[in-house]
Amino acid sequence: MFNYEKFENDIVQSMQIILERWIKENNDLYIFSLDCVGQMDSIGAIANTFHYLKEQTEQDSEDYLYYKYCEEEWDLFHTFEDISVDMCKELEDNSDIFINSETHKYSDVFEEHRCKIIECCGNALIRFRKILNLNHPHILLTLNIREYLDGEDRMEIFAKINNQNMVKEYFEQVERAKKIYNNIDDYYSNNIENLMPTPNSEIRKSR
């Protein structure tokens, strides 16, 4: 049986370790995202810095907020390998009940598992926010469940874990994306499909 409490605790610890490493290497890191694959087989972190953002666009450019908040365009990436291995094992051990044998689609049992995973991710970010507020209150946090969370969910989570002064700008970007794309997921996952490697792949190496 999957240990959701351990999963949440491991995420918090892993986020602390990788963020501290990135901050030592980048003194202008401004945003950090807990990034999880929608099929729940891999998890990690993505972050960005102002100097990398400046390399991609200018502040007065129309696409500035896109580059600022779209995880696929960010610079730093790391997979939580051990946690991802546990996630993959859970899928393998329960493949007979996670997939409907008749429809070959995810079962209600899997959807319940996915909801619990997302709940753990949200709780981990809330705990992590309290830790960040001690020394790095300026760093923004986001949760990215690729090809699953819609714009409303993303905005709700962002509002819970960030300074309210930054919420308005983030909401503006999500609303802008809605006007361009019929489905908000197309905006956030259109080019991100292969961003995060599973534990056994070499799609993109951690930094």
Kindly report, residue by residue over 91-131, the tens digit of the pLDDT. Answer: 999 999 999 888 889 999 999 999 999 999 999 999 999 99
Residue 91: exposed, middle, or buried by beta-carbon count in 10 A (0-12, 13-18, 19+)? middle
Residues 6 or more apart whose Cβ sits within 8 Å of residue 121: 8, 11, 34, 36, 43, 143, 145
CB 72 within 8 A of CB 185: no
pLDDT of 201 over the 80 cut: no
Strand locations in 14-148, DSSP E? Answer: 29-37, 43-49, 76-79, 140-146
Q: pTM of this prediction?
A: 0.83
The confidence score (pLDDT) of residue 202 equals 29
| pLDDT mean across residues, the chain | 85
- From the list 114, 193, 124, 191, the residue with the least C-alpha distance to 157 is 124
Q: Using DSSP, state whether 67 is helix, strand or coil.
A: helix
Residues 6 or more apart whose Cβ sits within 8 Å of residue 90: 2, 40, 113
The confidence score (pLDDT) of residue 169 equals 82
Kindly report, residue by residue over 27-70, the tens digit of the pLDDT. Answer: 999 999 999 999 999 999 999 999 999 999 999 898 898 999 99
